Amino acid sequence: MKSDGKVLLVGGGAIGMLSAFLLGRSGMQTCILDQGATGRESSWAGGGIVSPLYPWRYSAAVTALAHWSQDFYPGFGQRLLDETGIDPEVHVTGLYWLDLDDEAEALAWAARVGRELFAVDIAEAYDQVAVLGAGFKRAIHMPGVANVRNPRLVKALRAALTAMPNVELREHCPVTGFIQENGQIRGVTTAAGEIRADRVVLAAGAWSGELLKTLGLELPVEPVKGQMILFKCAEDFLPSMVLAKGRYAIPRRDGHILIGSTLEYAGFDKTPTDNALESLKASAEELLPALRDAEVVGHWAGLRPGSPEGIPFIGEVPSYPGLWLNCGHFRNGLVLAPASCQLLADLMLGREPIIDPAPYAPSGRLQ
């Protein structure tokens, strides 16, 4: 087992915490620094679908990470439950897409990449999802898609990390910049002073671009606000995830139903708005009319780490040895987390990487 010197992770979302978990398991001394509490930003706010919303619209780079992660999630969820007693609830419900414009492309993609995705008779969709709104004409179905209860996932990750003797968590510790020495990054500056390390991993989600500006680097990662609403229904109300016109419904095991989401370029503002509430309620009622009589029990916003084509940045920054990136997962950070963090760990530990790292390398993608 290779055990290099200390690694600092800037950001304790799903990406930072899972990176620390995998590096820690390999014997590395790791420390997570978060400006707030860990797992309270996008990784808490997201919907937790363990698939891109329209997987066929993404590049092979995103697909490679998604597929590796999808196979990893069920066993990982069980392992976290066994270790921490907190169940991330990896819930395999399948997903129906309704009245898609690019159904043919979706089916051709599935055949090409060997994923189970079928056109189904709309009557079958109504049989399977009795609460579905009237008037949909076509459906395609992917039976194996899961959702993960992401607030529980981050809680379980935090508990697992707390139990690891070689992992330290420092919350409410905002990182303000990087320590440079002889052309190397040797730690970070924080409100509470300098913290030194052999390597630093930037996993600060939507804030990653701002932090790299302190080194004069342009990282195209920007905040993209997403709002969701939550209902509480009977446990068996909705047996499958459903998606139409860009809006989706996600059932949790206990009958909570999430409806998402908006996509807004509004800087770092995270305030939920009345407009979004009305628009999400209208989508909810169109998809599942029975929700008209249900109470909205939650409404929040999170900041996705937006990046070009949603391709994350994973690897070392060539101009700053010692500085590594794992950020820019945009709409898919929960599904892409396992493969992204495993790839980062492989690269940092000098192991054979699980997939070709080239598409995610910062080299040539920063200015």
Ligand X SMILES: Cc1cc2nc3c(=O)[nH]c(=O)nc-3n(C[C@H](O)[C@H](O)[C@H](O)COP(=O)(O)OP(=O)(O)OC[C@H]3O[C@@H](n4cnc5c(N)ncnc54)[C@H](O)[C@@H]3O)c2cc1C
Q: Using CB under 6 A as the criterion, which residues of the chain lie in contact with ligand X when the complex forms?
A: 10-16, 33-36, 38, 41-43, 45-49, 174-175, 203-207, 211, 226, 228, 260-261, 302, 304-305, 327, 329-335
Closer to ligand X by CB, 127 or 344: give it.
344
Q: How far is the CB of 240 from ligand X (least distance, A)?
A: 15
Closer to ligand X by CB, 123 or 253: give it.
253
Closer to ligand X by CB, 1 or 278: give it.
278
Q: How far is the CB of 2 from ligand X (least distance, A)?
A: 25
Q: How far is the CB of 126 from ligand X (least distance, A)?
A: 25
Neighbours of 283 (CB within 10 A): 22
Q: Smallest Cα–Cα separation from 356: which of 315, 305, 301, 316?
A: 315
Q: Smallest Cα–Cα separation from 219: which of 346, 315, 350, 342?
A: 315
Q: How far is the CB of 328 from ligand X (least distance, A)?
A: 8
Closer to ligand X by CB, 72 or 126: give it.
72
Closer to ligand X by CB, 170 or 232: give it.
170
Neighbours of 360 (CB within 10 A): 26
Residue 320 has what DSSP assignment?
A: S
Q: How far is the CB of 127 from ligand X (least distance, A)?
A: 26
Neighbours of 141 (CB within 10 A): 18
As a whole number of angstroms, the longest Cα–Cα distance in the chain is: 67
Q: How far is the CB of 205 from ligand X (least distance, A)?
A: 3
Closer to ligand X by CB, 15 or 129: give it.
15
Q: What is the C-alpha to C-alpha distance for residues 150 and 42, in angstroms, rounded to an integer?
A: 10
Q: Smallest Cα–Cα separation from 323: which of 160, 175, 223?
A: 175
Closer to ligand X by CB, 16 or 77: give it.
16
Q: How far is the CB of 255 from ligand X (least distance, A)?
A: 18
Q: What is the C-alpha to C-alpha distance for residues 12 and 19, in angstroms, rounded to an integer?
A: 9
Q: What is the C-alpha to C-alpha distance for residues 65 and 275, in angstroms, rounded to an integer?
A: 34
Structure tokens at 301: 């916003």
Q: How far is the CB of 245 from ligand X (least distance, A)?
A: 16
Long-range contacts of 346-351 (CB under 8 A, 24+ apart): 347/314, 347/315, 347/316, 348/4, 348/7, 348/23, 348/28, 348/199, 348/201, 348/324, 349/2, 349/4, 349/23, 349/26, 349/28, 350/2
Q: What is the C-alpha to C-alpha distance for residues 261 and 244, in angstroms, rounded to an integer?
A: 12
Q: Distance between terminal CA atoms of the chain?
A: 36
Q: How far is the CB of 97 from ligand X (least distance, A)?
A: 14
